């Protein structure tokens, strides 16, 4: 098993620390509660040793639990695959098409992105998932998606067992008044349960039923979202890049035609890029099969154009007018700021009066941006960005010279890319 191989390797023992996080703790708790309660209730409802149906039901429960945990731990411990530190392309001229990562001191390969949580550039990064406390990317995309499929299937089976257990145990104790609902109880009545179905057992079953139904709906929706992008050979990040490319072309009326380079045209071909019989995905995480109209750096060139465009259209300069200590939910900044804090693991940044912030996005009560640093910090590669309360800043009026310089810098970058 791949995740066991990763664990017993000495240099990967630190990966076990990924379990010490609220995401895996909650996920494994839900799996444990649903699995254990389903096994106990199946013994009460349909004794597995005396009937073929009971045996099949029990074996399927064990099967779901093993497959779910296998794919979950593989997604967590195999990991997404990382770009080597200090990586650069074989051809020196290709560097002008790539972004440089100051944290990894290397270039970002096509389809890779830097994850602030993992502190590495991730191959074919889709997103950082708090439930596995790791990124979903090139090497573990299939395991992660398989987990998203198996978890709702297993929880649906468990939910059926919970419902049938409560129905059979309460059938003769409470009159439901369902004159038209008849369920044949002859098979289960022949065997007396070895465990009593008490009030605590009923409460635990009801609680597990809620967990199972909630997991089925939530994780099932995530599975369909993942399959939607996989069948187009995209990631969630790349789908967003494609939307921004269309927006940029429409905004500037450039007349360009952006073709997503990694969509091979057939869903089955795209599917096989992620799911293989060996379990290992196609490719090395750096070079990719591409559309006939594109080349290896089509997407990275588009990213550079969007980055240049972002400096012109998105970054708005703000001056800090109120101190902020970086708390996640600062009560001193008002109830709306406290209750409407962004539900994300992205960091908060502390603010001091007089500092300057370049904001890139925000909500009604919070903003996200980069703190403007001095020359020494900038040269050292220091970057401070995160969320902060909107009430702590006020918009600055751009100096004409600064704006012109920024615009000319952006234009020169676009010409270099072209």
Q: What would you measure as the largest C-alpha separation in the chain, in angstroms?
A: 88
Cβ atoms of residues 289 and 264 within 8 Å: yes
Q: Which two tokens stand for residue 382?
A: 């220091």
Q: CA neighbours within 13 Å on the CB side: how many for 39?
A: 11
Beta-bridge partner residues of 174: none
Residue 303 CB burial class (10 angstroms; 0-12, 13-18, ≥19): buried
Query: How many angstroms separate the CA atoms of 405 and 402, rounded?
Result: 5
Beta-bridge partner residues of 385: 370
CA proximity to 168, closest of 200, 144, 148, 193: 193
DSSP category for residue 97: G
Residues with Cβ within 8 Å of residue 88, at least 6 apart in sequence: 95, 106, 107
Residues with Cβ within 8 Å of residue 214, at least 6 apart in sequence: none
Query: How many angstroms separate the CA atoms of 128 and 418, rounded?
Result: 32
Q: Is 129 a catalytic residue?
A: yes
Query: How many angstroms separate the CA atoms of 186 and 411, rounded?
Result: 79
DSSP class per residue in 122-158: ETT--EEETTTTEEE-TTTHHHHHHHHHHHHHHHHHH
Query: How many angstroms separate the CA atoms of 44 and 194, rounded?
Result: 7
Question: Helix, strand or coil for residue 276?
Answer: coil
Catalytic residue among 101, 104, 121, 129: 129
Q: Active-site residues: which are they?
A: 129
């Amino acid at each position: 098993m791949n995740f066991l191989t990763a664990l017993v390797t000495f240099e990967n023992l630190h990966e076990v620390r990924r379990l010490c996080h609220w995401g895996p703790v909650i996920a494994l708790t839900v799996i444990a509660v649903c699995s254990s309660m389903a096994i106990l209730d199946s013994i009460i409802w349909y004794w597995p040793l005396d009937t073929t149906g009971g045996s099949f039901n029990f074996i399927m429960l064990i099967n779901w639990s093993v497959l779910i945990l296998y794919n979950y731990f593989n997604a967590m411990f195999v990991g997404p695959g990382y770009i080597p530190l200090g990586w650069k392309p074989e051809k020196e001229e290709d560097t002008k098409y790539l972004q440089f990562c100051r944290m990894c001191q290397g270039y970002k390969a096509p389809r890779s992105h830097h994850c602030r949580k993992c502190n590495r550039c991730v191959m074919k990064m889709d997103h950082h998932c708090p439930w596995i406390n790791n990124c979903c990317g090139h090497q573990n995309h299939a395991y992660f998606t398989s987990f998203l499929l198996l978890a709702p299937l297993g929880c649906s089976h468990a939910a059926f067992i919970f419902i049938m257990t409560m129905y059979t145990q309460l059938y003769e104790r409470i009159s439901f008044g369902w004159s038209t609902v008849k369920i044949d109880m002859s098979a289960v009545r022949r065997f007396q349960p070895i465990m009593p179905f008490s009030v605590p057992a009923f409460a635990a079953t009801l609680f597990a039923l809620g967990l199972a139904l909630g997991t089925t709906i939530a994780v099932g929706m995530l599975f369909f979202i993942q399959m939607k992008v996989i069948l187009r050979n995209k990631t969630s990040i790349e789908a967003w890049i494609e939307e921004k490319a269309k927006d940029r072309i429409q905004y500037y009326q450039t007349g360009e035609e952006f073709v997503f380079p990694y969509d091979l045209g057939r869903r089955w071909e795209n599917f096989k890029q992620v799911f293989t019989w060996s379990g290992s995905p196609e490719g090395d995480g750096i070079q990719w099969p591409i559309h006939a109209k594109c080349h290896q750096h089509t997407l990275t060139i588009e990213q550079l154009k969007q980055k240049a465009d972002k400096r012109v259209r998105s970054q708005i300069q703000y001056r800090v007018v109120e101190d902020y200590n970086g708390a996640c939910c600062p009560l001193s900044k008002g109830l709306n700021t406290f209750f409407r804090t962004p539900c994300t693991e992205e960091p908060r940044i502390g603010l001091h009066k007089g500092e300057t912030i370049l904001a890139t996005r925000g909500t009604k009560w919070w903003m996200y941006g980069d703190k403007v640093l001095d020359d020494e910090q900038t040269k050292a590669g220091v970057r401070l960005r995160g969320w902060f309360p909107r009430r702590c800043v006020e918009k600055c009026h751009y100096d004409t010279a600064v704006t012109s310089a920024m615009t000319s810098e952006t234009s020169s970058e676009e010409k270099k890319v072209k």
